[in-house]
Amino acid sequence: MQAVSLRHRATFLENYLNPALDAGLIEMTQPDAPRSPTQKYRLTALGRQLLTAL
């Protein structure tokens, strides 16, 4: 959220995080614990391809 200067968590989840997860651009580092306070996300191979194309 800080990287894109957003403060409202619900908007961030609905508009950015969930669509990126659904598209397969990012993945959870702890998929069994999606609400963990230590949850992080990483780019998938598809996400890295898109990033280099941009």
Say how many CA atoms lie within 13 Å of 6 toward its Cβ.
13
pLDDT for res 48: 95
pLDDT of residue 28: 96
DSSP the chain: -GGGT---HHHHIIIIIHHHHHHTSEEES-TT-TT-TT--EEE-HHHHHHHHH-
Query: What is the distance, to the nearest Å, from the Cα of residue 3 to the centroid of all Cα atoms in its chain?
Result: 12
Sequence-ordered list of residues with C-beta below 8 angstroms from that of 27, at least 6 positions apart, any chain: 21, 41, 42, 44
Model pLDDT, residue 30:
95
Q: What is the pLDDT along the chain (54 residues), one digit of tens a residue?
A: 777 788 888 888 898 899 999 999 999 999 999 899 999 999 999 999 999 998
